Amino acid sequence: MSTVRPSLWHGLLLLATLLLFAFANLYNPLINEDGVLYLLLAERIGSEGLDAAFALFDKPLYSALIAAMHSLLGLPLRQCARLIDAALACLLVAAFAEFCRLLYRDRSVLPWAALLLLAHPRLNNYFAFVIRDLGYWALLLSSFCLLLRDIATPRVAYLLGWALCTLLAAAFKPEALLFGMLPLALLGTQSGTFGARGRRALGTVAVVAAAMALLTLIGVANPQHLPETVRELPDVPQRLVHEIPAAFNAAAERYASLVLDPYSRDVAALSLAGGLLSILLVKTLNNIGIISFLLLGYALRRGELRLPGANRGAFALMIGCALLLPVLFLCYRQFLDSRYVMPLCLLLLAPTARSLQLLAARAAATGRTRLFVAVVLVVLGTDFALGLNKPKPYLLECSEWLRQNTTTGMRIFSNDKQLIAQTGSPIDLQQVQGAAQLIADRHAPLEDVAYWIIHIKRGQQQLVDDLLEYEDFLTPVQRFENERGDLIVIYRPL
């Protein structure tokens, strides 16, 4: 890295990220279900204003950005979302590489950190999604970078930058507010003179107070514009003390009555806790990936991942916060999406990148740099190819047929919002969600409808039987199916 100009380095990093982002979207062109909802919300913001959006979703920043870009550039909403996501992906990769550099105070880790993240198949899978999580992850890592800078060289500017990034991350996902307490927690772990610690304490309190004042002003001006999570902050202690334990105990009771032998009821809570922690472990390992896990384990075994003293407490607190959030969610809801553990995985990938860098240094010392780089590229490339989500062929075939045979503005009736989104036609979300019931009640629309697009999942025999009642009113036009028995049938009303 010492021979590469920073501008060239950042340019190459930007180009590589954009190329991988484009590949992810070409490889899997179908918009995800959450993405359809974000685009619908952006459409509503554009036509009815932000107040209307809050009636549907209390965290509409991401959709508001899409709507603003649509208004500014005149591009389709979906393309606006892709542009925003591409920018956030670039910020995420750059922030991760910089975080690793600041954490270990070594510029040599930069290229290996960037390579590790860019070749990470799970992250590239998310590049194809229209999701607000990219903004959350990117801004959260940016706030961590500013916090590490403040630890190395205490400055109010760094704390202000940390506060801004944390608040913006919380606007994408309010969980970021938990990480906003990191500077206060660090006061008990950082060494330094009384004066330096006092300045950090004063600066942190001032920043937190400013953030709370901003939220208060927004709440006074229009309480509806505060996300529900922020409005309910005063209730957080009660939830932690009462609601989460109550939800866990209720789940343990269900587990004891439905699964365990009566003689094992007294260990139901312990058994459930073990199962939930297993979910967390599996999700985390799956997100990290086998290659990164082996690199991390190798370096830990050799004791090579020691951090500079000033950064140890900060990194431990970051890991603790990133671990606490999914644990609380598991106890409350008893399920966990892979996205919820991504902040934890990104933090764990930092020592993995360090491990890769140290291996590269050993290879360079023995004159085997080229061989090492070739092996790394082959291994990471293979892991990348095997770890990418494979698009479902029957969905892609249906999507292509719809692209060729429908026009924007056609009235479509369907039980699948993803497929309607491929046509560019208006989506009546309530109708889509209740499509099966409308068909069963024989109230499904036929007049002025260009096509019915019915997605029949394996085991939905009742839907198949209900469709038989419409044989005299519909003509099957095309069908797409997979080996599991999932089927899409496209009808044209007579």
Give the full edge-to-edge strand order of the sheet including 412-414. Answer: 412-414, 451-456, 487-493, 474-481
The whole-number pLDDT of residue 70 equals 93
**Using one digit for the tens of pLDDT, what is the confidence trace for 253-275?**
887 888 877 777 888 888 888 88
The whole-number pLDDT of residue 328 equals 87
Count other Cβ atoms within 10 Å, centred on residue 448. Answer: 8
Q: Three-state SS for 232?
A: coil
Q: Which residues of the chain have pLDDT under 50?
A: 2
So what CATH class is 393-493? alpha beta
Could you tell me which residues are beta bridge partners of residue 413?
452
Smallest CA-to-CA distance from 123 within 163, 92, 167 is with 92
The whole-number pLDDT of residue 220 equals 52
Could you tell me which residues are beta bridge partners of residue 493?
474
The whole-number pLDDT of residue 322 equals 93
Q: Write down the pTM of the prediction.
A: 0.88
Residue 3 sits at the vertex; the CA angle it makes with 291 and 17, to the nearest 5 degrees, is 45
The whole-number pLDDT of residue 130 equals 94
What does the domain layout of the chain look like in residue ranges?
6-30+76-230+304-318+339-387, 393-493
| 363 neighbors 375 (Cβ within 8 angstroms) | no
Token pair 């021979």: residue: 3
C-alpha distances (whole Å) from 427 to each of 48, 62, 292, 434 are 16, 19, 41, 13
The whole-number pLDDT of residue 239 equals 62
Token pair 């044209």: residue: 492
Quickly list DSSP for 4-20: S-HHHHHHHHHHHHHHH
**Using one digit for the tens of pLDDT, what is the confidence trace for 90-144?**
999 999 999 999 999 999 999 999 999 999 999 999 999 999 999 999 999 999 9
Token pair 């501008």: residue: 7
Question: Terminal CA-to-CA distance of the chain, rounded, Å?
Answer: 67
